[in-house]
Amino acid sequence: MAEEYLDIRGRRRNLLRLARINLTSFLHLFFYRIVILFSIIAAAIIIASMVSGGQFLDILAYASIAIVWLLVTPQLFGTFKVLPIVLTNGEAMGRLNSSFLKFKESVMPTSPAYKSILAAFPYMAIIVWIALLALLLAMLAVAL
């Protein structure tokens, strides 16, 4: 490739462009990048609390798990979205061409109830995830 081309691919800063394109995608990536860096700190705290015990380290471990919990939520929502996409070939939770979707309905109709249930699945799973976080926070409150 000629030298005079401007090639800025491969720069971390490019991730920030996502915020203007799609905020959901940006949060998904941004939180994931933070959790990558934070995960080694959380792991160290968890291991330290398991090895040496002590209430202070337990509290720190629960708190770090709670932070990880919050940070992985957008990533987890993305993972849960895959199920409806796979089961409906991209019809539920996907962004397929609208005229194609009309054509597909005429050829292979899919039950709207089935699609609605599948589309609701990621939201229901996140509700369960948040409920479990509440249990973790209760553990933290008891430890405090």
Partner 1 sequence: MTNRIWVFMTYGSIVGIPAMASLFVLAHYLFPGIAYVFEALLALALITNFITGMREIYIVSKPIPDKLVVEPVSHVPAEATQRGQGKAVNIVISRFNPDRGIIEKKEYSVAADKYTSVLSALIKVKNYQDNTLSIRYSCGMGICGSCGMNVNGRPSLACETNLLKSAENGKVEVSPMLAHPVMKDLVTNFDDFFEKHKAVSPHIYKEDAGEKYGHGGISRQSREDLVKFLPFSYCIMCGLCLDACPVENTNPNFAGPQALSQVYRYAEDSRDGKGEKRIEMVNSKDGIWGCEFAGACSEVCPKGVDPASAIQLLKAKKIGQMLDPNYCQGEKSGADGI
Chain residues in the site for partner 1 (CB under 8 A): 1, 4-12, 14-15, 17-18, 20-22, 24-26, 28-29, 32-33, 35-37, 39-40, 42-43, 46-47, 50, 61, 65, 68-69, 72, 75-76, 78-79, 81-82, 85-86, 89-90, 94-100, 103-104, 107-108, 129, 132, 135-136, 139
Distance in Å, CB of 53 to partner 1, minimum: 11
Residue matched to tokens 């691919």: 9
Which amino acid does the sequence have at 42?
A
How far apart are alpha carbons 40 and 105 in whole angstroms? 48
Distance in Å, CB of 138 to partner 1, minimum: 9
Distance in Å, CB of 101 to partner 1, minimum: 8
Distance in Å, CB of 6 to partner 1, minimum: 4
Closer to partner 1 by Cβ: residue 108 or 113? 108
Q: CA torsion, points 120, 89, 26, 67, in degrees to nearest 10?
A: 50
How far apart are alpha carbons 130 and 89 in whole angstroms? 28
Alpha carbon distances (Å) from 132 to 36, 125, 136: 22, 11, 6
CB atoms within 10 A of CB 67: 15
